[in-house]
Every structure is written in structure tokens, then in C-alpha cells.
Structure 1
Amino acid sequence: MTSGTSQLPSAGRPVLQRWLTDAPDTHPVRVLEAKTETNPAVPMGLDALEMMAAALDDTAADNPRWSRKIAEFGQLTSMGQLLEMRAEFALALALTDAGIGYELGNTKIVNPDLLLLTGSGAICAGVEVTARAPQNINELVERVEAVSGGRFDVDLAFDGYPSRLQPEIADKAAAAVRAQVDALGAGSPAMAEVIQVEDPKNGGPLEITVQVCPGNGAVGWEVTAGVLDGPLGAAEYAAFEAGRGTQKAAQGRSLDGAPVLLAVDVSRYGAAWMRPGTVWAQRLAAAEQFTPDYPFAGIAAMRQSLEQPGLLDIGVGLSPHLPAADRQVLEDLCAALDWPCA
């Protein structure tokens, strides 16, 4: 499932360049741009982002909330922040493609990221967007990406599902990658290294096998354990926990009774990509975490790909405690968007 424009913009990615006028070289998009000569996948990802930005730029003309969002985009400092904002862009494009009116939330008050509007301009629902990954996994991936320098592929294989990775584990993984990169650079084979992880939050000891090989700078991680109930259950738990923080909960309850969806990008949450949106919708809707006092009317588990504009897949689970009118609003919304809903 994808959404967004389909025509490649003109050379030079002019919208991104304008959005990044004052951005430093450490901005995540600038970091990607520096890899375009060594990693052929990077230009495709930047082109996809330009397509999204160009479509949104038309919408943003003379809109002060969008002007602030574009300024915020230019101030991002990490790939994790970029992916979260990109998820918000993907949802905005999906609404536009489906002809659903919306406006960005007002950053001066507590409200969701996206406010959905009726034909008369009244707010009928909201969408709050966030992203989730195991604690510190993004930091680990970004450390490894920095060390590999976009010249080699890195595979991180966990023999069990990690709930937390302490900073020293990232240090060890970075050192293992550096040693293998040096070996490959000298014409020698890169020998995989196994890192032992002892942390009670993981429910037992884990091993991470770090392997560097010739490639285009991709960094991937996977859980090699054959049973996925644990990893997928952890992803479900993380999706619900994303809505329990004080700020997020306030956003979920902020529209004077209008229902608010929590859209959680699980693209980087291990095995979450293996579950299609139709199954995510069913599992979320049936989850025990949907208690009567849960602050959001439903949860959308979504995925995106850096190489494609818009959404890759999504599934929406609605709270079983919703009033009939709110459920109808969200079911109609999902039908208009062609999103699986349960």
C-alpha cells in the first residue's frame, strides 16, 4: 500500500534544498546527500523524499503551521527524528490522496499532529504520529552506520529479541565494525564477531553477531530466533506504550470528544515488518491493552520505506470501548483511505 505522487521531480531536488537552506552538514538529509556517490540506494531515497516534500510544499503555501513544520524539518538532528517526521508526511499525503480535508495541529496548544476536517471545516478526528524501536536500537544502528561510512553492508543478528541495549553494547558493535572495515580495506576477509549482552531487561542473555561485507552501506538487524511471538508481542506492547506517556495521553484526549488515532511507525521494530496491516489491525483491536481508560480511540501500526514515497503498509485497530458514533467516524475514515480496520 503506497500513497503519494508518482512523477519524479526535476533534477537537484529543489524543494529539499529550499527546506534545508540553513541546515548544517550534520542534518540527517545532508548526511545522506554526502553518501550519494558511494551508495546507489541513497539517491533513490532522497528522490522519494523530494517527491513527498514537493507535494506537501504545494499544500504548505501561505500556511503558517506548515511554515513552522518546514522550519522544524530543517532543524532535525538524527535519522530517528527524520523517520518520525517522514511518517507524519506520509500520513498527510495519504489524506490528500483520499480527498480528506485536514490541517496540522496547533503547536501552541495540546492537540494531535493532524486534525481531520468535515466538509464544513469542523474537526471530526485527529491523528497523532510517533515511531517506536527497541530502546537504544536506533542509536546502535546510527553508530554502526557512521563507522561503516557507507562503504560496506553491516548485518546485526540477535539470537533473541532485545528490549534494551546499553551504550557499551553500541561501543562494542562499533569497534567490531571498525575492525572488519579495516580488514576489508586491507584486502583481508572480515571475520564475524559475537557480542555477549547481559541485561535483565532482556529476560536473559543475548548474542549479537556482527558481520561486515562488501555492499552499498546498508545496515540491517534481525532476530534469528525461530519463534516470533515474543518479538511481535513486544512490538504490540511498544505501540500501546507509545500512547501512555503524559504528553501523548493528553493529545489523545484533546479534541473535546472527537476520536484520535495513534499512528505508530514500526518500520524499525525488528520483526514487525513481517505482519501485514490486515493482521496488525486484528491483533491491535483484540489486545488487552485497550482498556476503557486508554487515551486513544485506536492505534494504526504503519510502515514506510526510505526508497518509496508515502506509506508502505498500515493496519488500524479500534478500541472495543468506543462509542458507536466515534467508531463509525473512524471506520468511515479507514474505508476512504483503504486502510485495513478492525
Structure 2
Amino acid sequence: MTSGTPQPSAARPVLQRWLTGAPDTHPVRILEAGTGTNSAVPMGLDALEAMAAALDATAADDPRWRRKIAEFGQLTSMGQLFEMRAELALALALTDAGISYELGNTKIANPDLLLLTSSGAVCAGVEVTGRAPQNINELVERVEAVSGGRFDVDLAFDRYPSRLQPEIADKAAAAVRAQADALGAGSPSVAEVIQVEDPKNGGPLEITVQVCPGSGAVGWEVTAGTLDGPLGAAEYAVFEAGRGTQKAAQGRSLDGAPVLLAVDVSRYGAAWMRPGTVWAGRLAAAEHFTPDYPFAGLAAMRQSLEQPGLLDIGVGLSPHLPAADRQVLEDLCAALGWPCA
């Protein structure tokens, strides 16, 4: 592949078929438009093609997979793409491990993935979601739209914000646009510091915006203090992902069969600094695992646009699980090679 040279649609036939009828505003179309200015973007598209091709054979006669593919063509943001990509990564892991599964029934409360016994009975489920802090998520998606997959954007907060007003997103978008234009013209980009004065944040806040060459990823971090706060926030967010009414219903939907909630923390600040083996133990020991928590276990997972499948994952099981359910999930993790506690 020639660096900086856009690749024809035929280079990724499965992905193009999945995108039939998708508008130019589809996040993958935006990434495709950046292949001529960012040599890392084709790598990300090739990784997505590899995942789609590996799973596509399953869709031939399966109406649920056909609906999933149609849903893929209707995505409207990078955040939605990351979340569906996480689901595809989990499905690919099951396929590679030879674990029988089918997609959940979207017409009723169901996990995304239903695991099957040799006789075809559902023995467990996996629900997949992504998590990003409130307010920061909206800011990241706004920045992604401006960046258009041409460059990487790093956002550094000197403290955790409780609220980011719309005008802050406007300033961040303008900073990204100016730096991206400079890079596109062959000039260096100069980081911009945005000052935030909002009593909701408990004091002044600074956001440093830096645009640099890369694959179109947008990352953020909190720079102040130790990692206890950022990692504690990420841990709490993983548990909160399962508490909504809809998610809780999915966790309890299999007539007693255990359901695992897999939460993509790829863009949740410092969460990437904790390996899966550590995540497993921390989640299993957390006080948030109450007897009425709707999921039998939690997985913190990470992915990268530049690589197919999962980068890392760790699974923590509820201490309140019946022995039989625990054995089902421990066996699943052993078959997949996932750290489990």
C-alpha cells in the first residue's frame, strides 16, 4: 500500500458492501476521505475490512446479521462506530475460539450476543457497550467531526470537569480546525489552551488541544494528581454502564442464564493504563457489585482502530453468583484466554 494514496473501494469489498447506500457523512466514509492525507487511515480501514470479512460469512442466511449490517450502514458518528466495532470485536473473538453464538433478538430485551451449547440452547449472553464521561463524550464527538479522520487529536484536562458548556465545544472545534489546516498546509501545529470558568467544575479548568499526524483517533486524559481518581472514575463508569433501565433488562433477560456486560473503555482517559489482568481483580472486588446488580460479570475491554479484534480485556465476576453460573463464565473466559476473577 502506498503511503498517502487513497485506496479504491474494490480494495475493501466487504466493507463497501456493508456501506451500500451510506452517505458521505457516515464515519467510515469520512475516514475514507482522509486516506490521501493520513497514511495511518488505510491501516484502520484495512483492520475493519479484516473484521468484516471474517464475520461476513455468518450473515449469508441469518436475518439478524443482515439487520446488523444494515445498522452498520446507518451509523452517524465515530462514537457509534467505536461501539459497533467493539461488538464486532467480541463476535470475532468468539468465532476465533470456536464458541457457538448468535446475535440477540432486537425485538425483545436481549444481550447483543447469545452463547449456545452444543445442542443449540442459550447458556449465557454478552452485552457490549462503550463508556465515556458525561460532557467529555459530546466534546470528543464534536472534535471527531471536525478532524474528519485526517489527524489525531489529544485533549488534556488539568482536572475532571463536571460540566462543559456548548461554547467550550465550539472553542475546541475551532482550535482543531486551525491546527488541522496548519498541518494540511505543511506547517507545524501549535497546541491551544482553552480556559473554562464554570462553578460546576469547582474551580478553573484548562483544556489543552493538540492536533498531530495519526490515524484520526481522538484521545483525552486528566493530567492532575495521581491515577487513583481517574481510574476510580473509570471503574465506577463501567458499573454505571449496566444500571440503565434498558441495559438492566438485557442483563436479566435470559431466564437465569448469566449475562456478561463488556464495556469498551478505549477512550475513557487513563483506563488504558490498567491491564486486563488488573481490571479483572478490581472489578470482582468492587463494592458496586451488589446482590441486585443486573449483570453476572463485567468486562473492561480495549480496541484500536489500527488493529482488528481486541487489544486487551479483563473480566470480573459478581461475588453473588450461583456456583453453576460462575462455572459457565469461568469456562467461557478460559476458552477465550481472557483474565477472569
TM-score (norm 1): 0.91
| Cα distance in 2, alignment partners of residues 336 and 185 from structure 1 | 47
Q: 1:247 to 1:4 in 2, by over 3 A?
A: farther
| Cα distance in 2, alignment partners of residues 4 and 329 from structure 1 | 48
Q: Which range moved further: 281-290 or 162-171?
A: 162-171
Instruction: Write out per-residue CA displacement over residues 94-137 of structure 1, whole angstroms, 9 at most, x where no aligned residue.
Output: 11111111000001111111000111111110011100011232
Give the drift of 1:297.
0.4
Figure out how many residues of one structure are paired with residues of the other and give that number.
341
SS in 2 for 1:313: strand
Query: Which residue of structure 2 lines up, in the alignment, with residue 163 of structure 1?
Result: 162
Q: Which range moved further: 20-29 or 214-223?
A: 214-223
Query: Which residue of structure 1 lines up, in the alignment, with residue 6 of structure 2?
Result: 6
Give the drift of 1:199.
4.4
Contact 2:219/2:267, CA 8 A, preserved across alignment:
no
Q: 1:37 to 1:290 in 2, by over 3 A?
A: same
Contact 1:3/1:309, CA 8 A, preserved across alignment:
no
The percentage of counterpart residues that share the same residue type is 91
Instruction: Write out per-residue CA displacement over residues 292-335 of structure 1, whole angstroms, 9 at most, x where no aligned residue.
Output: 00000010000000011101000000001111111111111111
Instruction: Write out per-residue CA displacement over residues 61-84 of structure 1, whole angstroms, 9 at most, x where no aligned residue.
Output: 101110111111111111111111
| Cα distance in 2, alignment partners of residues 108 and 149 from structure 1 | 34
Q: 1:50 to 1:159 in 2, by over 3 A?
A: same
Instruction: Write out per-residue CA displacement over residues 34-76 of structure 1, whole angstroms, 9 at most, x where no aligned residue.
Output: 1111111110000000000001101111011101111111111
Contact 1:190/1:213, CA 8 A, preserved across alignment:
yes
Give the drift of 1:140.
1.9
Contact 1:160/1:225, CA 8 A, preserved across alignment:
yes
Instruction: Write out per-residue CA displacement over residues 171-193 of structure 1, whole angstroms, 9 at most, x where no aligned residue.
Output: 11112233445566778765433
Q: CA RMSD in A?
A: 4.1
Give the drift of 1:147.
3.3
Instruction: Write out per-residue CA displacement over residues 127-183 of structure 1, whole angstroms, 9 at most, x where no aligned residue.
Output: 111000112323323333443455554332111233543322111111223344556
Q: Which range moved further: 166-175 or 267-276?
A: 166-175
SS in 2 for 1:163: coil
Contact 1:300/1:316, CA 8 A, preserved across alignment:
yes
Query: Which residue of structure 2 lines up, in the alignment, with residue 310 of structure 1?
Result: 309
| Cα distance in 1, alignment partners of residues 62 and 26 from structure 2 | 24
Q: 1:298 to 1:185 in 2, by over 3 A?
A: closer
Q: Which range moved further: 171-180 or 272-281?
A: 171-180
Contact 2:30/2:149, CA 8 A, preserved across alignment:
no
How is 1:224-263 mapped onto 2 (pairs within 5 angstroms)? 224-263=223-262
Contact 2:30/2:148, CA 8 A, preserved across alignment:
no
SS in 2 for 1:230: helix
Contact 1:259/1:296, CA 8 A, preserved across alignment:
yes
